Amino acid sequence: MRFQISIAAVALVALAFCLLPGSVEAGPRPSALRYRGGAEGRVIFDHQLHASKGDRCNDCHTDYKGTGKQLFGTRKRGFITFADHATATKCFACHDGKNAKESFDECSQCHRKATT
């Protein structure tokens, strides 16, 4: 009987934490994310570099330029296809030579071959 009450108490506390309002912004942002990048080599995305240029989380994750468009999910899932490279989506929404100072014209600007 006592064991059942303890389990119920733990379950109630866990449920309370799940229902508490939280923020996507809560907690530290990773400074850099590393993606496999396929055969071209790994891709490193630096959150801090973008933040230092004035970009905010919502700019890419929920509301790109006030359009409500989400360029990236909020989990480390770098699903960018080769076809995406020719569109104004994902990284290329900004890095197109117009919106950001840097356009990505060469593979090596993002993809880094592993060095041994």
Tell me what pLDDT residue 110 has: 86
Residue 17 lies in a domain: no
Q: What is the pLDDT of residues 88-107, one digit of tens each?
A: 888 888 888 777 767 777 88
Residue 65 structural domain = 29-112
> Does position 42 have pLDDT exceeding 50, yes or no?
yes
Tell me what pLDDT residue 15 has: 47
Domain total in the chain: 1
Tokens of 77: 């899932």
Instruction: Identify the band that residue 40 occupies on the pLDDT scale cut at 50, 70 and 90.
Output: confident
We report the CATH number of the domain holding residue 35 as 3.90.10.10
Residue 53 lies in a domain: yes
Q: What is the pLDDT of residues 53-62, one digit of tens each?
A: 888 888 888 8
